[in-house]
Amino acid sequence: MTSTATSLIPVHPPDTVEPTVDVSVIVVAFRTPDLVARCVQSVHDQNRGLVVEVLVVENDPQDGTAQALAELDAPCRVISPGANLGFARAVNLAAVHARGRYLLLLNPDALVVDAAVDRLVEFADRRPGHGLYGGRTVDGVGRLDPRSCWGLPTLWSTLCFAVGLSSLCKRHPLFDPESLGRWERDSVQTVDVVTGCLCLVPSDTWRALGGFDEQFFVYGEDVDLAVRARSVGFRPLLCPDATVVHEVGRASATRADKLLLLHRGKVSLFRKHWTPRRARLGVALLRTGVVVRGALAGGSWRELHRRRHDWVDGHPELAA
């Protein structure tokens, strides 16, 4: 983990010494102060008895996040590194200051409902040893958002992306395997990847795994963490009773920039966890999929193809 100069701003500090903290909720903020404030308020409003602390990393100190949080009747601590660290470094920084026996990574555009944090912590307490715990995410009108967990990328799933099968056959168990098929996230199951929008990790497990790999600026760090957790015997688990509303994209960059970051994260994953030959093939398949979508849909996909060297930046051995 990289050390960073940090300003800790206590927002509504408690009058007395806290008992043992059950869970440290970590939110990374970037230019969405209204969403962050709503998210933090929901954590406290939906708390049913846990000792909770909330740590917000302010990746843009000029965006008004600290001011918005100061107006809430909801205690939290703001960490201001003075620059945009990206997601992985920001979470690692907050984890250094966290006091909870669990860490909960929560997206700034998430809204906690139905005591989801309590449910997730109770679930993990009853089922120790899985390392990573996820929940169920829904959109603003209550429809399932399946992106709370994923299958691991493979050459087969990347080939399906390249030829368009994963788009033509969305959530098909064979042709879109990373989506985990039609499973509604309504039962307890082990999963390959718990995404960083809602991910509970015992603090000792986080430390043992070394936190996020900071070569990932944003996107891919949660998949990498899951790969490393699984390599030492953990089997991430999903709790269907822990639900948050996740308004995907409201805390993100433009669609073209988001696609670029997503693909850069995947290239980094391939490079780190696959053999060089397999990684080169994987990147070639990604580039093919982008070309196909650019030709058919244009727009952001065509822009992504035009900027293709940006998402293999830093990986010259994969750019050929």
What is the pLDDT, as a whole number, of residue 73? 86
Same domain, 274 and 146: no
Q: Which of 297, 238, 258, 242 is nearest to 87 (CA)?
A: 258
**Cα–Cα distance, 145 to 71 (Å, whole number):** 31
> Is residue 102, in this structure, part of any structural domain at all?
yes
Same-domain status, 303 and 233: no
Structural domain containing residue 209: 7-151+191-246
Q: Are residues 300 and 242 in the same domain?
A: no
Residues 102 and 51 in one domain: yes
Do 203 and 129 reside in the same domain of the chain? yes
**Pick from 77-91, 131-145, 306-320: least confident:** 306-320
Verify that 17 and 137 share a domain, yes or no.
yes
Predicted confidence at residue 17, as pLDDT, reads 45
One domain, residues 121 and 261: no
Choice between 249 and 31, residue whose per-residue pLDDT is larger: 31
* Whether residue 124 is found in the same domain as residue 266: no
- Residues 120 and 203 occupy one common structural domain: yes
Co-location of 62 and 99 in the same domain: yes
Angle made by CA atoms 182, 186, 191, in degrees to the nearest 5: 70
Nearest partner of 265 among 299, 305, 214, judged by Cα: 214
**Domain membership flag for residue 185:** no
In a domain, 175, yes or no: no
Q: Which of 205, 225, 246 is the last residue of a domain?
A: 246
Task: CATH number of the domain at 31, please.
Answer: 3.90.550.60
pLDDT at 313: 72
What is the reported pLDDT for 4?
44
pLDDT band at 18 (very low <50, low <70, confident <90, very high): low
d(CA 81, CA 63): 13
| pLDDT value, residue 254 | 81
Ranges 60-69, 195-204, 264-273: which has the least confidence: 60-69
- What would the pLDDT profile of 85-106 be if each residue is shown by its tens digit? 999 999 999 999 999 999 999 9
Angle between helices 255-273 and 221-231 (to 10 degrees): 30
Residue 264 sits in the same domain as residue 215? no
Within-domain flag for 320: no
Backbone phi, psi, residue 176, to 5°: -140, 60
Residue at 163 is within a domain = no
Number of domains composing the chain: 2
pLDDT digits (tens, 9 = 90+) for 157-175: 999 999 999 999 999 999 9
Question: What is the structure's pLDDT at 312?
Answer: 86
pTM: 0.92
Over 60: is that where the pLDDT of 40 sits?
yes
Vertex 219: Cα angle to 57 and 203 (nearest 5): 55
For the chain, the average pLDDT equals 91
- Summarize pLDDT for 227-244 with one digit per residue, the tens: 999 999 999 999 999 999
Q: Provide the pLDDT confidence category of residue 310 given band limits of 50, 70 and 90.
A: very high
Distance CA 52, CA 199 (A): 15
- Residues 56, 95, single domain; the answer is yes
